[in-house]
Amino acid sequence: MKLSRRQFMQLTAVGSASLAVPRLVFAGREGGSRTDDVILSIFLRGAADGLNIVPPWGDPDYYHLRPNLAIAKPGTEGGALALDDFFGFHPGMSSLMPVFETGDLAVIHACGSPAPSHSHFEAQDLMERGLEESSSDFNGWLGRHLDYRMDDSFGVFHAVAMGVAAPRTLAHQASTIAMPDIESFSLLLPADQEDALRQLLQELYPGDSMLDAASRDTLAAVDELAAADPLQYPPDNGAEYPDSEFGRQMQAIGQLIKSDIGLRAGALSLGGWDTHEGEAATLESLLPDLAGTLAAFHTDMGARMSGITLVVMTEFGRRAYENGSAGTDHGHGSFMLAMGNNVNGGKVYHQWPGLKEADLYGAGDLAVTIDYRQVLAELISERTAGMPSEILFPGFTPPPPLGIFS
Amino acid sequence: MDLQRRSLLGKAAAFTALASTGTSRADHQEEPLPEPTPEILTLGRCTFGITRSLVRQMDRLGRGKWLDQQLDWEKIDDSLLEEQLHQQTPTIYMSESELASLENGFQAANQLKQATLFRALFSPRQLYEVMVEFWSNHFSIYHRDGPVVRLKTIDDREVIRPHALGRFRDLLHASSKSPAMLLYLDNHTNVAGTPNENYARELMELHTLGVNGGYTETDVQEVARCFTGWAVASRRNINVGKFQFYPNRHDQGGKTVLGTDIPANGGIRDGEQVVDILAGHPSTAQFICTKLARHFVADQPPASLVDRMARIFQDTDGHIPSLLWEMLNSEEFLSSADEKLKRPVEYMIGALRCTHASLQRQSYASLRQYLFALGQIPFEWVPPDGYPDSAGYWTSTNGMLNRWNFSSSLAGLRLPGISMDYSRLTGDSSRPEDIVDNLSRELLHRDLLTSHRESFIAFLRDDEASSTGLGARPIQDRVPALIGLMLSSPYFQYR
């Protein structure tokens, strides 16, 4: 007999009578036999403008608020690419249209953190930790998932950040492998003394301090990377990554996945979204990089996308009305993307709050009607063997699932 | 075995996460490293790297007098270095209009980066250069942002350097009229009627009050109005590249900032008054002193020390030498050995300084390559909060790998344009014990654990090769690798 998800959650909530709503997230299907998806988190740093990246062209107020900056309606010169009869993509997102149309890409709008911060740094930090208020915990939301799932099958490459440092998203008890690229991740020691030197390095970093752990994992990672040799894998299925840092980094993530090195979670950043000034030109150059890279990755991974789920987020959105510098100041609600074979895509998930003055948040921002943690909690619930949501997102009770993942 | 440990840690974390305790992973070292002396600790924190001559200076003067001398920076003769910079990086002395007429703006940017590194490497005004770096990072400006490639040169010369050991209030006033800053944070487009809030927000969040410093979203909007019209003269203007206030773009209405009324028709005085309010605000004192203590004492600075410093800050308009004096003579400072990880610039410059490496012109390319790999090229942190100043960010596999690779390449003379004299470091000795002792004194400036000392000696002797009958090579062959190893060791990772 199979318990329904709802029955199961009711049963497991019995022990905690004080909870009005069941607070446990479990696998969407039978038991714990589900293997976890590789989860990739892409953070758009600088507060990406959901209103111009996924313009609500069906809302006349959008055009009142942004007389110079709004993306025109579909079917006009430079107009939006229709996603449905209300939302569209900025034309710079065109390479993701096929992925959206095949149903592997979902857009979530008026989405973000309820935290009122308009500070990039505070808001990024909170979002990466998955918290509403600051705390002394050091770990990130995806890091907490890794810690919960950690067992002997986890190798040194279970978490990878493409870049010179690991973002907070992945911070957990073990090391995240940080590397800007695969090519240069090797030890340059004199060959005839390498063994002796490596042994001495191990001796010099013997403990459990951060530095010791990073050192030990560095030595292990160099060896495992050399053995797995991910660079032998060219892009498959005719995928062409943009010639950009982000493109190269996503290609490298793909190579790590193909090399079966044990990747469970990855985090990448794409910056430059703080469009206080000259926003149109900035988005025209950033969006093809974002969209082209994600589309190439989707093509490159092919059937592997059934075991990979990727999410895109940003710390907050931009002010609903444009400023005097052909840009937008800091706002609140923005958008998210979810990509994978098990994403119920081809759809914009939203509870559109509207853009009339009374509908706006604070100084004139798009309101947040979908908490980003709801999306992520659903992702962990549906695409991994699951974990208690109060560990994943302390202090947050996920509303009923939106059905973004299956 | 490694996996077992990780797995245990992982399980433990799942349970402790609920309790919201613990700020970082357990800080367990098998056997603590012998601590540096207070003099070495002071040199480590107040310079870009300890050299033989600095140690002698410190011995001669004692800590108090050495600090006095460094704080009185203008009296320290740096004319030799400046003479060299005049020849090698002439654009750092150029006026706004000269910079504007440079065919390639990146020439100015590259020369400023080089000059910055060379000053850190060679200036006798070491504490001053440490503070220049501190303030450059506090008032961080991304070097590749349009006209900033030229104008950061002016910001460095006329904003940061004159006030690095002056008063915070003066520094803040200067920064608020820095063309590079105004351009970077878009204030040149902040005009009456359609304000741009970027500078106003970061001025409060990052430069003065801190994110929890007590300002509201309305304050951000009001401060933005106060700074309308603060811009930079354009190419058509004779004052090209200089600060310019445009009265016709200024919002002349009355404003309220942090509870203070700013009457209508104040003109440029509005913004200046905001700077004064912010410079004297208790949150600013707390915020700046926390950052100073984080830089010099510990990633989590002791509140007792920060509070004492904040009082001095408020009593002295932020007199920076007084703050440093209080901090560097505090108990909290003296008991903070190994609390501060060297960031990449400090690590690399420190290695070059203690090895007395000599640098040819082409060395800059090698340095730049590793600064890039380690993620700390001067002035290239993109967002306005500056490079992180705590170990959590810089401790990574990429960080360790590139530190080791840099040190190994440096010591093995595999970086083009950089050389060193091994015999000067080994004392020209041939006894392995003496070589290890001399090298650790020259490079690490602290005692070694007996077990480490013995391992280093064994490495020099090539015990393994001897025991397997391969026959040991001359000890001198192993000196470069041992230098690289010492610089790769935990003894050299902390300031």
pLDDT in tens, B384-407: 999 999 999 999 999 999 999 999
Residue B102 maps to a domain? yes
The mean pLDDT of B323-344, rounded to a whole number, is: 98
ipTM of model: 0.89
B289 and B272 co-located in one domain? no
Please give the structure tokens belonging to residue A263.
Answer: 């990747």
Q: Which of A147, A207, A214 sits opposite B28 (nearest CB)?
A: A207
| Residues forming a β-bridge with A348 | A107
Q: What pLDDT, on the 0 to 100 scale, is given for residue A175?
A: 86
Domains and CATH numbers, chain A: 35-181+240-392 (3.40.720)
Q: Which residue in A has a C-alpha nearest to residue B29's C-alpha? A: A207
- Chain A residues whose CB is inside 8 A of the B205 CB are 119, 121
- Confidence (pTM): 0.88
Into how many domains does chain B fold?
A: 3
Q: What pLDDT, on the 0 to 100 scale, is given for residue A9?
A: 34
Q: Which of B30, B211, B401 sits opposite A119 (nearest CB)?
A: B211
Q: Which of B25, B217, B392 sits opposite A363 (nearest CB)?
A: B217
- pLDDT tier, B23 (very low <50, low <70, confident <90, very high otherwise): very low
Residue in A270, A341, A267 with CA at minimum distance from that of residue A299: A341
Give how far A316 is from chain B: nearest CA, Å: 15
The mean pLDDT of B6-28, rounded to a whole number, is: 36
Residue in B359, B384, B383, B387 with CA at minimum distance from that of residue B371: B387
Q: What pLDDT, on the 0 to 100 scale, is given for residue B22?
A: 34
Q: Which residue in B has a C-alpha nearest to residue A121's C-alpha? A: B385
Spell B431-441 as b/e; 16+ CB within 10 A means b.
ebeebbbbbbb
The mean pLDDT of B158-186, rounded to a whole number, is: 97
Q: Are A165 and B385 a contacting pair at CB < 8 A? A: no
Residue B28 maps to a domain? no
Q: What pLDDT, on the 0 to 100 scale, is given for residue B468?
A: 57
Please give the structure tokens belonging to residue B299.
Answer: 């990633």
Residue B467 maps to a domain? yes
Instruction: Give the Cα separation of B101 and B98 in Å (integer).
Output: 5
Residues of the domain holding B43 = 39-282
Amino acid at A25: V
Q: Are A147 and B393 a contacting pair at CB < 8 A? A: no
Cβ(B271)–Cβ(B226) under 8 Å? Answer: yes
Q: What pLDDT, on the 0 to 100 scale, is given for residue B174?
A: 98
Q: Are A196 and B464 a contacting pair at CB < 8 A? A: yes
Is residue A18 predicted with pLDDT exceeding 90? no
Q: What pLDDT, on the 0 to 100 scale, is given for residue B361?
A: 85
- Chain A residues whose CB is inside 8 A of the B409 CB are 188
The mean pLDDT of A87-114, rounded to a whole number, is: 98
Give φ, ψ of B334 to 5 degrees.
-65, -20
Q: Which residue in A has a C-alpha nearest to residue B25's C-alpha? A: A173
Q: Which residue in B has a C-alpha nearest to residue A167's C-alpha? A: B393
B311 and B370 co-located in one domain? no
B301 and B388 co-located in one domain? no
With residues binned 3-state (H G I as helix, E B as strand, rest as coil), the percentages for chain B, rounded to 5, are: 60, 5, 35
Q: Are B9 and A220 a contacting pair at CB < 8 A? A: no
B63 and B158 co-located in one domain? yes
| H or E, element range at B230 | strand B230-232
- B277-325: pLDDT as tens digits: 999 999 999 999 999 999 999 999 999 999 999 999 999 999 999 999 9
B102 and B215 co-located in one domain? yes
Q: Are B341 and A211 a contacting pair at CB < 8 A? A: yes
The mean pLDDT of B347-362, rounded to a whole number, is: 96
B287 and B202 co-located in one domain? no
Q: What pLDDT, on the 0 to 100 scale, is given for residue B407?
A: 98
Instruction: Give the Cα separation of B476 and B465 in Å (integer).
Output: 15
- Chain B residues whose CB is inside 8 A of the A252 CB are none
Q: What pLDDT, on the 0 to 100 scale, is given for residue A165?
A: 87
Q: What pLDDT, on the 0 to 100 scale, is given for residue A110?
A: 98
Is residue A32 predicted with pLDDT exceeding 80? no
Residue B27 maps to a domain? no
Q: Which residue in B has a C-alpha nearest to residue A388's C-alpha? A: B14
Q: Are A323 and B194 a contacting pair at CB < 8 A? A: yes
Q: Are A155 and B3 a contacting pair at CB < 8 A? A: yes
B368 and B437 co-located in one domain? yes
The mean pLDDT of B410-415, rounded to a whole number, is: 96
- Chain B residues whose CB is inside 8 A of the A246 CB are none
Residue B20 maps to a domain? no
Q: What pLDDT, on the 0 to 100 scale, is given for residue B471?
A: 55
Is residue B21 predicted with pLDDT exceeding 90? no
Cβ(A27)–Cβ(A37) under 8 Å? Answer: no
B349 and B406 co-located in one domain? yes
Instruction: Give the Cα separation of B346 and B196 in Å (integer).
Output: 36
B133 and B199 co-located in one domain? yes
How does the average pLDDT of chain B come out, rounded?
A: 92
Q: Which of B17, B28, B396 sits opposite A178 (nearest CB)?
A: B396
Give how far A187 is from chain B: nearest CA, Å: 6
- Chain B residues whose CB is inside 8 A of the A220 CB are 2
- What end-to-end distance do the CA atoms of chain A give, in Å? 21
The mean pLDDT of A312-321, rounded to a whole number, is: 97
Give how far B155 is from chain A: nearest CA, Å: 22
Give how far B18 is from chain A: nearest CA, Å: 6
Q: Are A210 and B391 a contacting pair at CB < 8 A? A: yes
Kind of pairing between the strands at A334-339 and A88-89: unpaired
Residue B451 maps to a domain? yes
How does the average pLDDT of chain A come out, rounded?
A: 91
Residue B45 maps to a domain? yes
- A365-395: pLDDT as tens digits: 999 999 999 999 999 999 999 999 999 999 9
Q: Are A118 and B194 a contacting pair at CB < 8 A? A: no
**Residue B243, helix vs strand vs coil:** strand
Is residue A159 predicted with pLDDT exceeding 60? yes
Residue B96 maps to a domain? yes
Please give the structure tokens belonging to residue B384.
Answer: 């306005």
CB atoms within 10 A of CB A391: 18
The mean pLDDT of A238-246, rounded to a whole number, is: 97
Counting residues of chain A whose pLDDT is more than 90, the rounded percentage is 84
Is residue B54 predicted with pLDDT exceeding 60? yes
Q: Are B186 and A185 a contacting pair at CB < 8 A? A: no
- pLDDT tier, B14 (very low <50, low <70, confident <90, very high otherwise): very low
B300 and B346 co-located in one domain? no
Instruction: Give the Cα separation of B279 and B169 in Å (integer).
Output: 5
A293: Cβ contacts below 8 Å, ≥ 6 apart: A241, A242, A244, A246, A247, A250
| H or E, element range at B262 | strand B260-262
| H or E, element range at B418 | strand B418-419
B389 and B431 co-located in one domain? yes
B375 and B420 co-located in one domain? yes
Instruction: Give the Cα separation of B494 and B348 in Å (integer).
Output: 12
Is residue A13 predicted with pLDDT exceeding 80? no
Is residue B20 predicted with pLDDT exceeding 50? no
